[in-house]
Amino acid sequence: MSDKKTIMVVEDDPDMTEIVRIILEGEGYNVVCAPSGPDFFSQVKGQKPDLIVLDVMLPDMDGLEVLRRVRGDDDTSSVPVVMLTIKDQYDDIQRAYELGCDYYLPKPFTRKQMVDTVNLLLSHTRPPS
């Protein structure tokens, strides 16, 4: 069995998905991508990720609703979640933290910011709820 950690990226912009995937795979992570909340939930049934990178503005179901459901599910409640979004208003950030995100990374971000955030969160696992 591989020791490679799996990161699920939930992002509807194909270019942003590819940027995040390239950065994280370059760091040795296994990356699985989903373009929407419903796609994420159908994929997560088959595998529990070690970390989730989640956009706020998604089609069908916004990222905050995805986050709420992730935190409410025993199988995923302890998985660290990075909110990755262009929404950088205080109220948006506060709402994400209230719902249980572990880190809020506004777009645009640097490669170093992404890598440091992921490495930090994967070195500190969230206790089960």
Q: Which of 94, 107, 102, 95 is nearest to 119 (CA)?
A: 102
Amino acid (1-letter code) at residue 117: T
pLDDT digits (tens, 9 = 90+) for 9-21: 999 999 999 999 9
Put simply, whether the predicted model's pTM sits higher than 0.85 gets the answer yes
What the chain holds in terms of domains, given with CATH numbers, is 6-119 (3.40.50.2300)
pLDDT digits (tens, 9 = 90+) for 52-98: 999 999 998 999 999 999 999 999 999 999 999 888 788 889 999 99
HSE on the CB side for 31, CA within 13 Å? 20
pLDDT band at 1 (very low <50, low <70, confident <90, very high): very low
Separation CA 117–CA 13 (nearest Å): 21
